[in-house]
């Protein structure tokens, strides 16, 4: 890895840079424990996450804390615009830093269980810079840092303190949290299955009703046709009899 600084647009970025940005976006978009596990697969075990409100270390702690936070706050999407790759000369053999300048879209709307979120805008844009430190020998991300341009920034000492408290809480509550998330997803799956069953039942009843309507209409049309045929036949016979009677009367 050669030391130096390189600035480029997202369109002209290399495949490796785009892969790192996709990895970052997967982490921002993740909502469940499983999605966070997959998104953090390319991160170092002792990765540090430094956000404007909290700084926490450890892939497992980040996984649980991010899942819990997004459970209430919703998820995020990153819209990158400009990237800067910097490799300090002293760290050329250790790794480099990828800085992404763009917009972080906060999508706060949650399902029915968190109604207050519905009063917020559907998309809240946050202008931010996101930095990723990448190790040279294994391409693992060892730190992620974010800075907002249009939101307040908590002092670093308070972010570190919040990270220690959150990390300790997560470590203690992890078993209960995992059980809760299992119950939650099981409940969501049951509700979804019940909803799908209701939809299938409604579609079945609608199809049966449409079929019955078609049968009634077909039967009515058939009966109408038979009645019309009978009436026409009767009228024709009456006309023939009348004609014969008139003819006989004329002959007499």
- What is the distance between the alpha carbons of residues 69 and 51, in angstroms, rounded to a whole number? 13
Cβ atoms of residues 142 and 135 within 8 Å: yes
Q: Please report the pLDDT score of residue 43 as a whole number.
A: 92
Side-by-side strand order, sheet with 43-50: 4-9, 75-87, 95-107, 124-135, 141-148, 43-50, 55-57
Q: Please report the pLDDT score of residue 156 as a whole number.
A: 84
Q: Please report the pLDDT score of residue 240 as a whole number.
A: 64
Q: Please report the pLDDT score of residue 183 as a whole number.
A: 65
* Three-state secondary structure call for residue 125: strand
- Taking residue 30's Cβ as centre, other Cβ atoms within 10 Å add up to 21
Cβ atoms of residues 17 and 85 within 8 Å: yes
Residue positions counted in the chain: 252
- Residue 95 backbone class (left: φ over 0; alpha: ψ -120 to 50; beta: rest): left
- What is the distance between the alpha carbons of residues 145 and 47, in angstroms, rounded to a whole number? 11
Tens-level pLDDT at each residue, the chain (252 residues): 445 567 777 777 788 888 888 898 999 888 888 888 899 988 999 999 998 888 998 898 888 888 888 888 888 888 888 888 877 655 544 678 888 888 999 888 876 566 777 788 888 898 988 888 888 778 889 989 988 887 777 888 888 888 888 777 776 766 665 676 666 666 656 656 666 777 776 776 677 777 777 776 777 667 677 766 665 666 566 566 666 665 665 665
What tokens appear for 142 in the block?
């060892």
Cβ atoms of residues 65 and 95 within 8 Å: no
CATH number for the region 4-154 comes to 3.10.450.50
* Three-state secondary structure call for residue 79: strand
What tokens appear for 57 in the block?
């270390």
Cβ atoms of residues 86 and 131 within 8 Å: no
Strand pairing report for 4-9 and 75-87:
antiparallel
Helices 59-73 and 156-251 sit at what angle, rounded to 10 degrees?
Answer: 50
Q: Please report the pLDDT score of residue 47 as a whole number.
A: 92
CA distances from 74 to 55, 57, 185 (A): 19, 22, 16
């Amino acid at each position: 890895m050669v030391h130096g600084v390189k600035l480029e647009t997202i369109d002209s970025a290399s495949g490796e840079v785009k892969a790192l940005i996709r990895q970052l976006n997967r982490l921002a978009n993740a909502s469940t424990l499983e999605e966070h596990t997959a998104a953090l697969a390319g991160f170092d075990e002792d990765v540090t996450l430094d956000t404007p409100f909290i700084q926490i270390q450890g892939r497992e702690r980040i996984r649980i804390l991010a899942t819990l936070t997004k459970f209430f706050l919703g998820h995020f999407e990153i819209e990158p615009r400009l990237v800067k790759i910097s490799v300090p000369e002293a760290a050329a053999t250790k790794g480099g830093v990828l800085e992404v300048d763009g917009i972080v879209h906060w999508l706060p709307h949650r399902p029915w269980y968190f109604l207050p979120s519905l009063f917020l805008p559907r998309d809240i844009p946050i202008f931010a810079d996101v930095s990723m430190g990448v190790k040279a020998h294994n391409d693992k991300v060892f730190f992620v840092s974010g800075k907002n341009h249009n939101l307040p920034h908590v002092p670093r000492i308070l972010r570190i303190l919040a990270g220690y408290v959150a990390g300790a809480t997560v470590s203690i509550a992890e078993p209960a949290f995992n059980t809760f998330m299992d119950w939650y997803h099981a409940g969501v799956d049951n509700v979804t299955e019940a909803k799908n069953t209701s939809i299938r039942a409604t579609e079945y009843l609608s199809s049966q009703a449409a079929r019955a309507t078609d049968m009634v209409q077909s039967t009515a049309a058939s009966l109408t046709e038979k009645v019309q045929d009978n009436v026409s036949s009767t009228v024709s016979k009456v006309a023939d009899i009348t004609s014969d009677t008139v003819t006989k009367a004329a002959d007499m």
